[in-house]
Amino acid sequence: MSYPDVALKNKNSIQLEHGLPMIERWFLQQIFKAIGPAPVRLVLKGGAEMSPPGVSPIATVMILDRLTLAKLVIDPEMAFGEAYADGRIQVAGDLAGVLEAVYESWPNGREGASKYQWLMSKWMNWLQDNTPRGSKSNIRHHYDVGNDFYRLWLDSQLVYTCAYFPSPSTTLEAAQEAKLDYICRKLRLRAGETVVEAGCGWGALALHMAQRYGVSVKAFNISHEQTIYARRRAADEGLSGRVEFIEDDYRNIRGAFDVFVSVGMVEHLGVRHFADFGEVIHRSIGDRGRGLLHFIGKSHKGDFSRWIRERIFPGVYAPTLSEAMNILEPHNYAVVDVENLRPHYATTLEHWLERFEKSSEQVSDMCGLWFQRAWRLYLSGSVAAFRAGALRLFQICFAGSQSPLISWTRAPLYTDLKPSTEDTEWIHAMS
């Protein structure tokens, strides 16, 4: 896939590298020193250019002013995001491909960040802390952009989390439906059970669980637009009696349930609040319940891209598995199953990006050009991060120490929609 950003002009006037003024050459060298030998051609407005020796560039990044050039040296990630969104950087070629190449070439991930970058990152953590008030502001920034906007590029059910593609060629619609069902089957939902969902988006999972599995659901969300939409859908589908959408913070979940599920919310907790979240889970399902957490994670500790936190997802934090264990281990929850769906999120994001590009004019009309460029960068960067493995998608199934429902093997997830009789008999014998 390729999303031509701007056609390169004045190609004939491009200077050879050895003809660069010394200062520009130094700046360009510093950028490559920071990002590693990524196969891109950096071009300055006057036409001067540089690319790493011996590699064949996959795209051209044009830097339109010298201030941007200087900022890229000091703080490359933040400066790139800001300048791309403003149009002061233009990319000719596959933006996601460029970003993936930079992920691959970046020396030691982003560990080489300067003290300035480190300090700015910590300062941002403090500003965006997910207190009850902070969470509301952080979540509304992103999820209350408007349902019409999300309708342009999400699937028809507005599922805004990683889909599950039984095969890479499954359609997005089918893959989101498959994901909803996969979660229900991993949880082994049974008719009559009660489920609490923390962070329910536009309600697709809650409604799927109630309609297909006969459970009752209380679903919490602090996005006002999403809650309104979900309630209307529940009413339209005659499910209001079994699915209650509550516009409130996860910290205010009350009541006893059989099952706890949270899809795409752990990222919005902030690592400082994991213990609180574990308390909420344990208060809700105790030692006999079971649950599933679905979230974006990483393989080593560290903050999310500062530009993404500044412009797209304030307060976001993708934990490692060991950090996520701080939610479950204090309550002696058994991790039953962890699946890493990283390639499925890369594919999901490719679908979203393709749809987004097809609607880019409408996005500009609706939200402005800056917004359209910022969101293109966010979606492209996410494709790149999941392709390159900088981000993962973890689904963790867990069960309380007294939970009577543990699957004998995982085979029924793939071979049969219902557990075998023998399996069920064993479960009763163990409980």
Q: Which residues of 116-145 are buried (b: 16+ CB within 10 A; e: fewer)?
A: ebeebbeebbeebebbeeebbebbbebbeb
- Cβ nearer to a copy of itself, comparing 219 with 405: 405
Structural tokens at position 373: 């460029």
**What backbone phi and psi angles, to 5 degrees, belong to 176?**
-70, -40
- Would residue 108 be called left, alpha or beta, if left means φ above 0 and alpha means ψ between -120 and 50 degrees? left
Give the C-alpha distances (Å, rounded to integers) separating 1 from 94, 98, 341, 359: 7, 12, 22, 16
Helix (H, G, I), strand (E, B) or coil at 297: strand
Q: Which residues in 169-208 contact a copy of itself (CB under 8 A)?
A: 169
**Which region, judged by CB under 8 A, interacts with a copy of itself, from 52-60, 128-136, 166-174, 219-227?**
166-174
| DSSP label at residue 1 | -
x/- contact string, 365-404, with a copy of itself (CB under 8 A)? ----------------------x-x--x-x------x---
Q: Does 431 bind a copy of itself (CB under 8 A)?
A: no
Distance of closest approach, residue 240 Cβ to a copy of itself, in angstroms: 35
**Which region, judged by CB under 8 A, interacts with a copy of itself, from 244-252, 310-318, 360-368, 408-416?**
408-416
Binding-site member from 114, 171, 409, 424 for a copy of itself (CB under 8 A): 409
Distance of closest approach, residue 342 Cβ to a copy of itself, in angstroms: 7
Distance of closest approach, residue 425 Cβ to a copy of itself, in angstroms: 8
CA distance 153 to 333: 37
Q: Does 252 bind a copy of itself (CB under 8 A)?
A: no
Count of residues that bind a copy of itself according to CB under 8 A: 48
**Which region, judged by CB under 8 A, interacts with a copy of itself, from 56-64, 225-233, 303-311, 337-345?**
337-345
Distance of closest approach, residue 358 Cβ to a copy of itself, in angstroms: 23
**Residues 241 and 231 sit within 8 Å (Cβ to Cβ):** no
Binding-site member from 152, 338, 367, 369 for a copy of itself (CB under 8 A): 338
Q: Does 36 bind a copy of itself (CB under 8 A)?
A: no
Give the C-alpha distances (Å, rounded to integers) separating 106 from 112, 123, 390: 9, 24, 11
- Cβ nearer to a copy of itself, comparing 29 with 402: 402
Beta-carbon contacts of 154 under 8 Å, excluding residues fewer than 6 positions away, are: 160, 352, 355
Q: Does 321 bind a copy of itself (CB under 8 A)?
A: yes
Name 42's bridge partners: 50, 61
CA distance 418 to 35: 50
Nearest-10 Cα torsion for 141, 145, 146, 147: -80
x/- contact string, 58-97, with a copy of itself (CB under 8 A)? ----------------------------------------
Q: Count other C-beta atoms under 10 Å from residue 72's C-beta.
A: 24
**CA 159 to chain CA centroid, nearest Å:** 12
Binding-site member from 301, 368, 370, 431 for a copy of itself (CB under 8 A): 301
**Residues 186 and 337 sit within 8 Å (Cβ to Cβ):** yes
Binding-site member from 134, 244, 369, 426 for a copy of itself (CB under 8 A): 426
x/- contact string, 102-121, with a copy of itself (CB under 8 A)? -------x------------
Q: Does 336 bind a copy of itself (CB under 8 A)?
A: yes
Binding-site member from 137, 320, 362, 364 for a copy of itself (CB under 8 A): 320
CA distance 94 to 387: 14
Q: Does 428 bind a copy of itself (CB under 8 A)?
A: no
Binding-site member from 26, 118, 123, 414 for a copy of itself (CB under 8 A): 414
**What backbone phi and psi angles, to 5 degrees, belong to 261?**
-135, 140
Binding site for a copy of itself (CB under 8 A): 109, 164-169, 299-301, 320-323, 325-326, 328-330, 332-340, 342-343, 387, 389, 392, 394, 401, 406, 408-411, 413-415, 420, 422-423, 426, 430
